[in-house]
Amino acid sequence: MAVHAHPDDESSKGAATMARYATEGVQVLVVTCTGGERGDILNPAMEKPEIKANLAAVRMEEMAKAREVLGVEQQWLGFVDSGLPEGDPLPPLPEGCFALQSLEVASEPLVRAMREFRPHVVLTYDDNGGYPHPDHIMCHKISVEAFEAAGDPDRYPGAGEPWQPLKLYYHMTFHQKRFEAEHEAMIKAGLESPYAEMLKRWQDRPLQWEITTQVPCADYFEVRDQALLAHATQIDPNGPFFACPTDIKREAWPTEDYHLARSLVDTELPEDDLFAGVREKVCLP
């Protein structure tokens, strides 16, 4: 189970991993907390009045295309996008949005989803949300809460029969070492790298969380690209996600990376499999 804040997050974080496991026969569920209703249109080609007026419906259609590309199941939690407030001082979040829900209210449908789907492994964001979007931070909070509560019959008693996931991971998708490797590979290939300025800003920036797990999934990078492009309002095909050619990405950094935050099974670090330690306990493909 991969828990994400908005439609398109599943395609930019962990998509190749999910596509690989789905191809291998693992049942994969993406849980999307909000509809992305307050998102901006980030692809100039999609800046059309009719799309702006129906953005929530359009993003649902994009999500349907992306989940088909990835070969995964998907479920909406039904909360409303909080938007990303800007300004100084920051304006208040919109009334009723996801990030303003109490922890119990926001977590209950995710606990229910965990108990129904019965995942062994859960993927989510770190405590900073990967970046400090209020919906990403709330996504982290409810993922941790649901992971710890789903197996306890005394918690959320109306949300189904208890089920305890075995491992919880944080996405470590955007980090300095990966972009340094891609930058150097592009320079070596005689290409102009788009990462030079970003790497200057990131110079000597320590990782908040250790990378414990690197899943080889380079064979699925093109599937990841197709899933990203399915989110046409959010992903510009001429934008930064595609600045580095896929074949160079495969060579420079052929994994997607994670931090093992919780484990109820024995495993040895570093890992190359999200199901390390789980396969020994349960029958998996």
Q: Binding site for Zn(2+), residues?
A: 6, 9, 136
- For the annotated binding site, the residues are 6, 9, 136
Question: Which amino acid is residue 53, in one-letter code?
Answer: A
Location of structure tokens 């899933």: 227
Pairing of strands 213-216, 255-263: antiparallel
* Cis geometry, peptide bond prior to residue 270 (ω within 30 degrees of 0): yes
- C-alpha 255, offset from chain centre: 15
Max CA pair span of the chain? 60
Question: What burial class does residue 283 get, using C-beta atoms within 10 Å of its C-beta: 0-12 exposed, 13-18 middle, 19+ buried?
Answer: exposed
CA distance 85 to 77: 22
In sequence order, what are the beta bridge partners of 168? 122, 262
Question: What burial class does residue 197 get, using C-beta atoms within 10 Å of its C-beta: 0-12 exposed, 13-18 middle, 19+ buried?
Answer: exposed
The radius of gyration of the chain's CA atoms, rounded to the nearest angstrom, is 19
CA distance 276 to 285: 13
8 A C-beta contact, residue 260 and residue 212: yes
